[in-house]
Each structure stands twice: as C-alpha cells, then as structure tokens.
Structure 1
Amino acid sequence: MRKRLPKLNELQPCKIEVEEEGSKRFDCRRGPREQKSNDPENSRNYPSPSTTGEDDIRRLIDDIESIVTLSHTIRVFTIKWQLIRKKLEELSMFLVAAETPLPRYNHNDNNVNTQNLHQHKCLSEAVAAISGTVRVCRDLANRCINVSYSGKLLMQSELDRVISKLDFAVKGVTDIYNSSGVVTGDLALVVLKPGLGSGREDMRFYVKDLWTRLKIGDTQMKRQALVSLNEVITEDEKYVKIVVEMGDLVILLANCLDSNDCCIQEQCAFAIAVVSGFDSYKGVLIVSGVIGPLIRVLEKGSLKAKESAIRCLEKLTENGDNAWALSAHGGVTVLLNLCSNYEQVDVELIGPACWVLRNLVGVEEIKRFMIEGDAISVCVRIIKGRDELGQIGAAEFLQSMASGDENVRQLVIKEGGARALARIVDPKSNYSFKSRESALKAIENLCYLSVESVNMLIGYGFMDQILYFLRKGDTSIQELAFKSACRLCGTSEDARKSMGDIGFMAEFVKFLEAKSYEIREMAAEALSIMVLVPKNRKKFANDDHNIGLILQLVDPKEGNSGNFKFLLSIILSLSSCNHARRKIAHSGYVKNIENLADAGVSDAKKIVRKLSANRFRNMLNGIWHS
C-alpha cells in the first residue's frame, strides 16, 4: 500500500560510520579491490540476494520501538532517558526510510553487481553495529526500571556512553542521506498519501515520512515535502494534531522559516499559520520558538511569507500573555515601521499589522511605547488612505488604544482621527461598506463620550451624513446609520435639538413598524429621548399620524408589548403639551391607554390621570363661561 524511499543499494557508494562496542568502524568507501582475493564479493558467480537484510532492519526497528515504549515507564534519570528516546526515534525514522526490499542482481552488469553487493554488506554491517547499541539500551532500561544498578554515578556514566553511541549512529545514518543523495527529487519515491477514512497510523506514517524528507532532503525535496504537508493539514485537521504531537516537526518548521529559499520559507510560514488557527495548539508554537523567526520573516521575507507570518502573529497575540514574547524579539518596532512606511509596503500587510498591534494594547508598557512611537498619527494617516483593510485595522487599533483612556481619546481627536473617520462616512466619498462600518463604530467609541466631541461632529456635518443614509441608503448601510443615530440622540440635549431640527424623528417613526423587534424597540427608545426636548415634542405633536400610530401600537393585540415602556414614555411626554394632550384624548385609540391603566400599568395610569384632569378643567371652564 505504501511506496518506500529509494533502495539504499541503488545509491552511489558512501561512507557510513557506526560505532559498535570497542569503537569498531565500518567504511563503505572501501571497495572490492581492497578485499582479499578469496572474498566472495570478488567472485563472478554472484549469489542470489537473501531477505536477511530487510528482516534485520525490521527487527531492529521493532526493537527500537519496544525500547522507546519501555522508556516511558522509567522513573529514574528521566532527563537522560528523554534524550535517549529522542535519539532512538531519530534512528528509527532513518531505518524506516531504508526498509525496502534489496534489488535482484543483474548478472549481465558486473559493475552494478559489485556496487550492490558492497552496499548490501555496508548496510548489513551498520545494522549489526546499531543492534549491539540497541541491546545495551534495553539492558540499561531494564536495570533502571528494576533499580538494579550498583551506583548512580556509574549508571549515569553508562547512560552518557550509550547516548554518545546513539548520537554517533544517527550521524552515520544521516551521512548516507546527505552524502549519497538518497533524498533528492530525482531519486526519492513518495509515500502515498492515505486515502479518505485511513487510520491514524497510516496518517502518522505519512507525516513522519514528510518530516524525514524535510529534515534530510535537498532543497527540491524539502519544497515537495512542505507542499504535501500543507495540502493535508488544510484538508483534515487530524493531520494538524499529528504535526503538533510530533514536537520536533514544529521546531523544524520554525527553523526553516530562516531558510534562504523563498519557497521553503513561504510554505513553512503557511503551515505554522494553519496550526496557529487552533487555540489549543498555540502554546506548542510559542514553546517551539516561532515568534523570533516570524518577525524576521516580516523584516526580510517575501510578500507571501509575510502574509502568513503576520496572520500567525495575529492569532498568537490574541492571548495577551504572548505580547511580551513578541515585544522581546523587537516585534513592536518592526510592526510600527511597517505601518509607518505603508506607502512603500504591500497594502495587504497594513490591516493585519494594525490588528497585531491592537492585540498588544492590553499591556500598558507596550501601549505607552507605541504612543511614543507615534502610532496614533501613523494610524490617522492610514485612515486617510484608500486601502480598505488598512482603514479597518487602523480604526480598530485606535479604538482599542483609546478605550478607558481619556488622554489617548483626546490625543486621537487632536491628531485628526475624528475628522478622518467622518470623511469615510461622507456619502459623497467612494468608500466600501466595510470601511464605513468600521468608521461609524470608531466614531461612536471615540466621539460619543463627550459633548465637546459631539458638537465637533455636528460641525463636520456628520448628522447630515447619517440622515442621508437613513433616507436613501441601501438596507445594510441604513441599519448602521439608524443604530448610530439612536446612540447619538442619547449623547446630549444639543444633539437632540439638532437632530429634531433636521428631521430625524420622522425617520425614527418609520422604524416603529420594522420587522425586527430590536429595531422597533430602538426606534421607540430614541423617540422617547427625542421628545424630552420641548421643541421636538411640539414638532412631533403637529403630525396627527405620529400620535395615532403610537396609540395604535400600544394595543396588546398588535404584539408590541415589549415596546410599551418606551411608547408609553413618548405619550406621557406628549401629554404634558396641551396641543398633544387634546389629540390623544380625541384619538380613536385612546381606549388602548385606558385598558393598560386598568391592567395596572404605571405610565398608562399617569397618562389617564393627565387626560382626566384636562377633561375636568375643560368642564369647569365650560361651566364658568356658560
């Protein structure tokens, strides 16, 4: 089912040195001519190959995996056994790659046969030597489990010795791949990608094979391995979990971010960005040291690599605890420089850079550093530009900076932030819906908090802009404008007067019959605030339709009971006006108010008392003048 890596016997002669007991070494460069004349390798009657070589490799792999499993139960010298376990796993990885059937000899090609026989002997000797070291590992493991060693110092010395042997063995096998050209694009066969529904072991085997190629392959093979890795981790998140569980693979990806090869750098950045999309795996990335390399990519990488790197940093900094890690590697300065030079930088990076900076605002020291670094004026300039993502990112960053900090809010307004945002809202400008949405939210958070700022907005013509979208905007922008206007009328009496003068109340009345309950309630609340101003109250009462509609809507049969609080508040305010009170009393829907009063609704009772007092006064006036 799986295609293996190329057969070691097909490779050019290479040197492999494996240390066995007594420091015996095997040198594969030694050719047949150096052998004694009675050596079978010099005979022209070449023997048929046996399967002993493959069997030995398989047994060795099984032994190594058995010792790795056994080592997890050891409770003494844990640090040293972790190192031994890592070396054994590396060794197993190379041996799995070498585990392929040896080729049949070509009886018509003496040169090939001589080379194959020599490679066969070289591999067999290496496996035999490594097997001896593995047997020593098993013996030491059993002794540590049973605590049957004579002394700690002596056991430490023996463990150090076996670590040295394993390290030597790994280096020797690695040399086969690096110096012999085993893993090159021309020679390597790719392990087949597991199909849909494949088991976890098959998936892990495939990822492990890609890891091998990424670690010891040439440039072309590294590229192919990364492309294949990115293909599976984007298709199935199970592969992402396997990648994370193989911690060394994440570290390898982090190290490859510093590759001089543009393709390798881009593919590694993409893979790390995919992993960063899972909250539970972000800690593994941080521990694996990705922050520093990602920042270096932002400084010198290609556009594609930078896009993945900055997306990853945005995800990682969503956890405020990681802000210091980014700052420690100079990330804040790099991001500020990127934003400062936004005219020379690819626009795709500006918005995400602002979002990363936004995530760092929670750390007061970093926030102050950004303010001193002129971050506010930089963001205002970005808002004045034409890039949509940049405008959105800068607007969100400024909101986060000013949140709960009056001094920063004033600084943003002083630097021209409010005026720049108001220009985006202007119907005469040609900005996207998303840019206008972010601008409106920013204006609400920055300017609706003080009377001075609201008056400044009025001077910019902001209210006329909102009213235009209420009347003529499409559904999406109309809803944004409506919600912003509802909040605006609650900011100050001057704002309510201005809104009443230019016609906001008539627009709010239209929303009283909207399909959305939320919109109906917001419209009723806004009107209840607007009519607190006597001038607005008189203007509202002049339109008979307004009073009739509100009295009609307080009918419980109409299903507007949720709005009764604000609708009754409107009627109660209107009832303080003689002109409006007469219209209410003579309306055909006044019975709705009386029914609510009979049901014990407090505001309805107040309205009925006002209406009754007015009727009583009218009766007295009639009697007095009769």
Structure 2
Amino acid sequence: MDEENSTTDHSSTLDQALLLISSLISLSHSIKVFSAKWQIIRSKCQDLFSNLTAILNWESSAHYNSSLPPLLDSILATLNSCHDLAKQCFNLSYSGKLLMHSDLDIVSAKIVAHTTTIFDIYAAGLLTRSDAILVSRPSAAASMEDVRFYVVDLLSRFKIGSTEMKKQAILAFNEVIQQDERYVTVALQLNDFIGFLVNFLDGGIQQEATKCVCLIAGVESSKSALIGAGVIAPLIRVVESGNEESKKLAATCLLLVTENSDNAWSVSSHGGISALLKICGGGGVELVALACAVLKNLVGVEEIKRFVVEEGGISLFVNLAKCKDEIIKIRSVDLLQTMACNDESVKEIIIEEGGVRALVKVFCPKSSLSTKTREMTLRGIVNICCSSQNSLHLLVNYGFMDHILYFLRHGEVSVQELSLKTAFWLSGTSEEGRKVMGEAGFMPVLVKFLDSKSMEVREMAVETISSLIVVPKNRKKFVQNDQNMGLVLRMLEVNNAVNKNLLLSILMSLTSSSATARKKIATSGYLKHIEKLAEAQFSDAKKIVRKMSSNRLGTILNGIWHS
C-alpha cells in the first residue's frame, strides 16, 4: 500500500475512533451500575479523545508515520470492546459482578496505555505538526461535561503538543475563562492543569502563560491552587527578567495572591521584595505603580516592612511621590501612609526624607490632580504628621494651612469635608496651631459650615470653632466679624441644627471676655431665645443670661453715678 492510501486508511480509522469515543462517553452517563468505574473510564476516554484530536490535523497532511496504523487499530479494538461492556452494563445483561469489575479494570488500563503511547510518539518527535486544530469551543449554554471535555482537550495539548500548539491552547483557555468561570473550576479539578501553566512561566510561551495565571488568580477560589503549584517563584523570575508586558501581568498576579498576607513570606523568601524595589527605582509607569501596590500588601508584615526601610525604600517612595505621573503618585503615597500607620519610627524617617514637603506639594491646589489623589494625599499627611510636634512647623512653612483653607472654600464636597476634618485636627494640635489658623482666616470659613445640610459637617465645624476661640486673639477676631456672631446666634433657634451646648459654650467664652460680644448679643434680638434655653436648664445659657443681666445693671448704675 502506498503512503497516500495508508494515510487515507488510518485517517478513516481515526475518525471511527473519535466517533466511537463520543458515543461511549454519551452512553456512560446513562449507566446506573458500576458508576465509579464508569466515571474513571469516561475521564480516560476524554483524555484519549483529546490526544487523538491533537493528531487529527497532522493526519490530514501528506506526512506519514508507520507507527500510527497499528496503534489506531489497537485503539479501535479497545473502544469496541469497551462499547460492548457499556451496553452490557446499560442493559444489565452481564454474567457476573466480579467478572465485569475485572473487565472494566482491564479496558480502563488499555485506554490509559493508548494515551501514554501517543504521548511517547510526540515525545520522540514523530508528530511535530504545530497547527493541529482545537476542539470546537462549547457554547455559553454548554453543560459542565462539555466544559470539562474542552478543558481536558487543552490539557492534552499542554502535555504532548509542540510549543505553538501549547501556545494556541493557552490562548484558547485565556479567552474562555474571561467569559465563563466554569472553565477555571474544571481546570482546578484536573491534577496537572495548573502545574503545567506554572511551568510554562519559565518557557517560550511565558507571556501567554503569565496572562493565564493572572486571569485565574482573579478567581478567588483559585488562589490557593496557584500557591500550591508554586506560582510565586516563577512569577518573581518573570518580574525580574520578562518582557514589559509579562512583567506587568506577573506583578498583577502577585498583587492578587498577596491580598492574603499569608503569602507575603513566600514572596520575600524568593527575593521578591528586592525585585519589586528595583522596579520602583527604574521601571515603566504602570509597572512601578503595580510594584508599589504589591509592596503595600507585603509591608503589613513587620519584618518585611523593616527590610524595606533598611533597603532605602522610604527615600525611594518619597521620590516617587514627586514624579509627574498621577498613578505613581497615588500608589506611592498610599504605600507611605500604610507603612507609617502606627509606626512612629517610620513617620520620623518619612519626615526626615522630605516626605511632608513632597505630600504638601501634591496636595497643592495648583496641581492638576484627581479628587482621589487629593483625598489620599491629605489622609497621608495627617497620618504621618499626627504625632509629630515638629511637623506643624513644617506644614505651616510649606503652605499647608493655605491649601486647607482653599479647599474649605472651593473644594469638591469630598475634599472639602476631609479638609474640614483636617482643620479640626489642626485646631487640636497646639496653641500655636490655633493661633496660625486664626491669623490665616479659618474662623469665618468655618462659621459658614454651621449652616450645612450635613449634621456631621455642622458638628465638626462648631467643635473646631470652639477649639480656636480658646485663643484670646482669635476671640477678638471672631467678635469683630458681625456675620460670625449673627450665624452662631441664629443657629440657636434652629431645631436640631447644631449641638446647642457647643454653641452656648462659644457664646459663653465670648461674653466672658468681650464687652463687644455682650453688646452684639443684647442688640441682636436673640437674647430672649437664650433666656428660654436657660429656662430649659442649659447651664451655659444661664451663665450668659446672668452675665448679660449683670452687664445691664452695671450700665444702669454707671449712668446714675454720672448723672
């Protein structure tokens, strides 16, 4: 028989085998006896089907391999035998359970042997076609069996295919898992699937494999399987030496798997911290931002944070906060404040490295940054400076007070409210801080917030004002502004507007030290309302009424004395 006829004959045998496997798998689902045995056989048949499909396109070429015809004949004989056993089980027509058990074990072993032989043929290089077709992708409504069948076929290509065939299989898998998580579920159930993908991270299809593990890591239930397959070490190698796209994918995958801090030590033990710091010192914008995000996940472990500090990480991140790219700014600021949280020594290092100045510059109204970046930066400033006495001087020197005042007047709502909280914090830092705020003009701006729709904003504003007027010079400034006094008095009449005890406390402080304040209250028309509050047992209202009454009596007596 010539080569062309031989190719035609065993192509026909291959087609028969594939049809017979499909029929056998379908029939096996209907068999009610020996279910465990048939489940194993069905799985083995799916593996065999995938391997036979992988050589189908090779067979359509003009190439000929003498080892295939006898193998295919043997496979067809085994499948026919298996099909006969399936019919006996389906019809319950077998002669004995023990004999059937034995026959099923034998046929299962033969199927495994055939699959191994095909693998050996590939390993020997006897089949090298790289353009073998993939099994048709199941529809969106496909059953789990169809999904499993497809994934098993891809796995067979991972095992026996050429580099190009493996690449095509990974690309196909990447496509389906972005649309249906069932494919990930099935892949996790197959012993070798994740292991092959992890091994590919070090091979010639690195970028495709890295994207694949990155997509899988996006499925929460799969992370432990990736870790168990040893994904950390090869990911770090990709970060160190892969192309730019592979590095970004690997860093994204590391970001996902390190959301669980238990995996932080694995990254550290494989040199991942140094690799990430190196990227921060000289990578592309997106890659640097990803490296910062991964490090943020890792520095929650105290020993890792100390290592980052010892390696000069603080100085590095402060410099990143100064760069022009906003994504790097926000990630580096986020990382700095995470490291500074509840750690006074890190806060001091950040301040020493010029971190406060860098952050204040980011927060500057003149910088064209997003609201999110401003919010992140402001939180970082407060977090880093909250316990440092020296930091207030730095903030004043760098113009931070003016920035806060600007955003209280003109900022978007979220930044404005955060600025108000910062003003409240600043008012409680020290006497000097309150003096600076009074001089800068905070009080008239804060008074306007007393009329806000938000209860939280109103309360924050009145508490801040109450703190500021502790300073005598601030009291004098407050009283001199008619709008300040007028709005505070008006708020006393509004039901549930502001904490009346705080408002009365402010007025009490003002009337105790300022004749001008007492005069303005007396002529405002609100004194009767204060008297009603005194009758309602508000203690400061009683004190104000007594003070005002004493003042009126003194005025009368003084007039009589000089008459």
Q: Please tell me whether the aligned partners of residues 261 and 301 of structure 2 are also in contact (alpha carbons under 8 angstroms).
A: yes
Structure 1 gap segments, 5+ residues each: 1-31, 35-40, 74-84, 136-147, 149-158
Q: Please tell me whether the aligned partners of residues 16 and 76 of structure 2 are also in contact (alpha carbons under 8 angstroms).
A: no
Q: Please tell me whether the aligned partners of residues 276 and 316 of structure 1 are also in contact (alpha carbons under 8 angstroms).
A: yes
Which of the numbers 95, 98, 113 marks the counterpart of 2:52? 98
Q: 1:254 aligned to 2:209?
A: no
Map 1:176-215; keep pairs closer than 5 Å.
176=121, 179=125, 181=127, 184-185=130-131, 187-195=132-140, 197-215=141-159
Q: For 1:576, what is the secondary structure of its paired residue?
A: helix
Count residues with an aligned counterpart: 535
Q: How far is the alpha carbon of 1:221 from its aligned partner? A: 3.2
C-alpha distance 51-351 of structure 1, shift in aligned 2 (>3 A): closer
Q: How far is the alpha carbon of 1:599 from its aligned partner? A: 3.6
1:453 aligns to what?
391
Output one character per residue of 1:404-454: Cα deviation in whole Å (capped at 9) or x when no partner.
Answer: 221221111111111222222234455554443332221111113222111
1:70 aligns to what?
36
Letter in 2 for 1:207: V
Q: Please tell me whether the aligned partners of residues 522 and 548 of structure 2 are also in contact (alpha carbons under 8 angstroms).
A: yes
Which of the numbers 404, 410, 433 marks the counterpart of 1:466? 404
Output one character per residue of 1:25-71: Cα deviation in whole Å (capped at 9) or x when no partner.
Answer: xxxxxxx699xxxxxx99x999x979974575457758999999627
**Cα distance in structure 2, aligned partners of 1:220 and 1:400:** 44
Q: For 1:235, what is the secondary structure of its paired residue?
A: coil
Q: Please tell me whether the aligned partners of residues 158 and 169 of structure 2 are also in contact (alpha carbons under 8 angstroms).
A: yes
Q: Please tell me whether the aligned partners of residues 254 and 294 of structure 2 are also in contact (alpha carbons under 8 angstroms).
A: yes
**Cα distance in structure 1, aligned partners of 2:320 and 2:2:** 74
**Cα distance in structure 1, aligned partners of 2:546 and 2:35:** 86
TM superposition score normalised by structure 2: 0.81
Q: 1:383 aligned to 2:383?
A: no
**Cα distance in structure 1, aligned partners of 2:238 and 2:19:** 46
Q: How far is the alpha carbon of 1:547 from its aligned partner? A: 1.3
Which of the numbers 281, 287, 311 marks the counterpart of 2:252? 311
Q: 1:330 aligned to 2:271?
A: yes
Letter in 2 for 1:322: N
Letter in 2 for 1:570: I
Q: Please tell me whether the aligned partners of residues 50 and 156 of structure 2 are also in contact (alpha carbons under 8 angstroms).
A: no
1:493 aligns to what?
431
Which of the numbers 580, 585, 603 marks the counterpart of 2:517? 580
C-alpha distance 353-131 of structure 1, shift in aligned 2 (>3 A): farther
**Cα distance in structure 1, aligned partners of 2:240 and 2:258:** 18
Q: 1:571 aligned to 2:515?
A: no
Q: Please tell me whether the aligned partners of residues 50 and 154 of structure 2 are also in contact (alpha carbons under 8 angstroms).
A: no
C-alpha distance 227-96 of structure 1, shift in aligned 2 (>3 A): closer
Q: For 1:192, what is the secondary structure of its paired residue?
A: coil
Q: How far is the alpha carbon of 1:456 from its aligned partner? A: 1.8
C-alpha distance 118-285 of structure 1, shift in aligned 2 (>3 A): closer
**Cα distance in structure 1, aligned partners of 2:139 and 2:532:** 73
**Cα distance in structure 2, aligned partners of 1:417 and 1:449:** 15
**Cα distance in structure 1, aligned partners of 2:9 and 2:476:** 117
Q: Please tell me whether the aligned partners of residues 130 and 169 of structure 1 are also in contact (alpha carbons under 8 angstroms).
A: no
Q: 1:443 aligned to 2:381?
A: yes
Q: Please tell me whether the aligned partners of residues 183 and 213 of structure 1 are also in contact (alpha carbons under 8 angstroms).
A: no
Q: Please tell me whether the aligned partners of residues 50 and 152 of structure 2 are also in contact (alpha carbons under 8 angstroms).
A: no
Q: How far is the alpha carbon of 1:498 from its aligned partner? A: 0.5
C-alpha distance 426-308 of structure 1, shift in aligned 2 (>3 A): same
**Cα distance in structure 2, aligned partners of 1:444 and 1:411:** 15
**Cα distance in structure 2, aligned partners of 1:606 and 1:124:** 108
**Cα distance in structure 2, aligned partners of 1:502 and 1:45:** 94
1:397 aligns to what?
335
1:511 aligns to what?
449
Map 1:584-599; keep pairs closer than 5 Å.
584-599=521-536
Map 1:90-129; keep pairs closer than 5 Å.
92-96=46-50, 98=52, 119=68, 121-126=70-75, 128=77
Question: Which 10-residue stretch deviates more, 500-509 or 175-184?
Answer: 175-184
Q: How far is the alpha carbon of 1:399 from its aligned partner? A: 1.5
Question: Which 10-residue stretch deviates more, 288-297 or 201-210?
Answer: 201-210
Which of the numbers 204, 211, 236 marks the counterpart of 1:270? 211
1:346 aligns to what?
284
Map 1:31-110; keep pairs closer than 5 Å.
53=17, 57=21, 70=36, 89=43, 92-96=46-50, 98=52
Q: 1:219 aligned to 2:157?
A: no
Q: 1:172 aligned to 2:108?
A: no
**Cα distance in structure 1, aligned partners of 2:311 and 2:447:** 48
TM superposition score normalised by structure 1: 0.74
**Cα distance in structure 1, aligned partners of 2:185 and 2:381:** 43
Q: For 2:178, what is the secondary structure of its paired residue?
A: helix
Q: Please tell me whether the aligned partners of residues 450 and 491 of structure 1 are also in contact (alpha carbons under 8 angstroms).
A: no
Q: 1:235 aligned to 2:179?
A: yes
Q: For 1:545, what is the secondary structure of its paired residue?
A: helix
Question: Which 10-residue stretch deviates more, 496-505 or 117-126?
Answer: 117-126
Output one character per residue of 1:258-307: Cα deviation in whole Å (capped at 9) or x when no partner.
Answer: 1223xxx2232223223323434322221121111111110111211211
C-alpha distance 69-382 of structure 1, shift in aligned 2 (>3 A): farther
| Percent of matched pairs sharing the same residue | 43
Which of the numbers 456, 459, 463 marks the counterpart of 1:525? 463
C-alpha distance 355-117 of structure 1, shift in aligned 2 (>3 A): closer
C-alpha distance 190-45 of structure 1, shift in aligned 2 (>3 A): closer
Which of the numbers 305, 321, 334 marks the counterpart of 1:367? 305
**Cα distance in structure 1, aligned partners of 2:129 and 2:559:** 110
**Cα distance in structure 1, aligned partners of 2:352 and 2:438:** 29
Q: Please tell me whether the aligned partners of residues 534 and 545 of structure 2 are also in contact (alpha carbons under 8 angstroms).
A: yes
